[in-house]
Amino acid sequence: QVQLVQSGAEVRKPGASVKVSCKASGYTFTNYDISWVRQAPGQGLEWMGWISGYNGNTNYAQKFQGRVTVTTDTSTNTAYIELRSLRSDDTALYYCARKVVGTTYFDYWGQGTMVIVSS
């Protein structure tokens, strides 16, 4: 069965960076894209970017360009998101989700990783 298992919660100070992982299993990793979506406490869903599992091409939301990097390691079927220059409003639950190539929807989601930014 398809599974996306994310790394554990992180606490960072403002200005620091954080890197969250998402390990995929149960499907051919290179046949799908991985997207990242975050959700601030009590708020809605916010798309951050996606990466092709096939060739590593990325597409980032304009809001995060220059501050986010999404990568993959096809040897371990793992995707990563790194967010830099953290601010308190980056405190959120970060989800990875599988995206079918050529479409824009997300059919499987990870369990989420809580990132807390606090001094």
Partner 1 sequence: QSVLTQPPSVSGAPGQRVTISCTGSGSNFGAGFDVHWYQQLPGTAPKLLIYGNTNRPSGVPDRFSGSKSGTSASLAITGLQAEDEADYYCQSYDSSLSGVVFGGGTKLTVL
Among 78, 110, 115, 117, binds partner 1 (CB under 8 A): 110
Our finding on whether 32 is near partner 1 (CB under 8 A) is no
Question: What is the Cα–Cα distance from 71 to 14, expressed in whole angstroms?
Answer: 23
Q: Strand pairing partners for 102?
A: none
Asked whether position 29 contacts partner 1 by CB under 8 A, the answer is no
Give the type of residue at 38.
Answer: R
Beta strand 3-6 with 58-60: parallel, antiparallel or unpaired?
unpaired
- Which of 29, 32, 80, 106: binder of partner 1 (CB under 8 A)? 106
Q: How far is CA 45 from the centre of its chain?
A: 13
Q: Which is nearer to partner 1, 104 or 118 (CB)?
A: 104
Contacting positions for partner 1 (CB under 8 A): 35, 37, 44-47, 49-50, 59-62, 95, 97, 103-112
